[in-house]
Amino acid sequence: MPNLIHYAIPGFVVLVLAELIFSELKKKHLYETKDTISSLSMGIGNVIVNLLGKAIALGVYFFIWQFRWIDLGFDWWVWCLIVLADDFTYYWYHRLSHEVRYLWASHVVHHSSRRYNLSTALRQTWTGTVSGGFLFWAWLPLVGFHPIMVLTMQSINLLYQFWIHTEVIDKLPGWFEWIFNTPSHHRVHHSSQPDYLDRNHAGIFIIWDRIFGTFVAEKQKPVYGLTKNINTYNPLKIAFHEWADLWRDVRNAPDFKSALMYLFGPPGWSHDGSRLTSKQIRQLAANRSKPNTHGEKSSSGIFTFH
């Protein structure tokens, strides 16, 4: 089946160039050459790998489709329904990709840039689909959504998310910010500051974050990247560094329970407490900002952990 992402590539290129030119004219300097080349390389690799990955996903969806509870068809209301169903699924997949290290090993790629521009949207994983991420959507063909519809909606969701990777657009009208994911909301998501960690997981609708308690509004300028940046522009290292670290931790785990935690526990978990999870980082930052006995905050400013 045709992949909508492939058709959109020329548009991506044009918009990246337009933002680059605009940012230079306004002296914002949003782009850095090596970083942009890395992001584009990751995007190209993702397209190539997903030629196989999407074929696998579609095959699995068609297999599940045989056991569907009902055939919902392709009426307009079914498309409206799958927009919500797909985005709800994406929210939980995305959220768990920040909370489960096995999933984070793929998703960390997207957060590895310390820049935030439209090219960052193209910095995509090479392992997300082949490692089984598509299985989160397996319930959709089971309940009656046609597999072609499922893959099409996944592409539409990703297409929507392209434009929110920018600092050029400030906040939009209040009603839009309340319902939809926007550049402001997604800048928070890409930040490494404690208050912003693992927040705003939405794809299209920010309402899921509001409902499930993961929403944070943009209040201060984000500091982009990871809590411990990898400091490389090498696409192979960007794609596989966390998988290598994960394998090393599992191999050196002192017991089976620890090995499982390294696999399926939160990123940053360690059996000896030598590292920090996002939750621990947020708690530490909160403790540091509490007033001391003199009524003063124990620390001020922005906390980042490297």
Per-residue pLDDT of the chain (306 residues), as tens digits, is: 557 888 899 999 999 999 999 999 999 999 999 999 999 999 999 999 999 999 999 999 999 999 999 999 999 999 999 999 999 999 999 999 999 999 999 999 999 999 999 999 999 999 999 999 999 999 999 999 999 999 999 999 999 999 999 999 999 999 999 999 999 999 999 999 999 999 999 999 999 999 999 999 999 999 999 999 999 999 999 999 999 999 999 999 999 999 999 999 999 999 999 999 999 999 999 888 777 655 555 433 333 333
Task: Report how far residue 110's alpha carbon sits from residue 225's, in angstroms, rounded to the nearest whole number.
Answer: 9
The pLDDT score that the predictor gives to residue 80 is 98
Q: CB neighbours of 284 closer than 8 A, spacing ≥ 6?
A: 194, 276, 303
Q: In the prediction, which pLDDT does 121 show?
A: 98
Cβ-count burial of 158 within 10 angstroms (0-12 exposed, 13-18 middle, 19+ buried)? middle
At 4 the pLDDT is 85
Question: Could you tell me if 290 and 281 are in contact, meaning their C-beta atoms sit under 8 angstroms apart?
Answer: no
Looking at residue 290, its pLDDT comes to: 73
Q: Taking the CA of residue 192 as centre, how many other CA atoms within 13 Å lie in the half-sphere pointing to its CB?
A: 19
pLDDT of residue 293: 52
Q: Look at residue 288 in the predicted model and tell me its pLDDT.
A: 86
Kindly report, residue by residue over 123-172, the tens digit of the pLDDT. Answer: 999 999 999 999 999 999 999 999 999 999 999 999 999 999 999 999 99
Helices (H), ranges, 28-144: 33-65, 76-99, 101-107, 118-121, 139-143
Rg (CA), the chain: 20
Q: What is the DSSP string of 11-59?
A: HHHHHHHHHHHHHHHTT-----HHHHHHHHHHHHHHHHHHHHHHHHHHH
Residue 306 is predicted with a pLDDT of 32
- Give the pLDDT score at 299: 39
Q: What is the pTM of this model?
A: 0.93
Q: Is 79 helix (H, G, I), strand (E, B) or coil?
A: helix
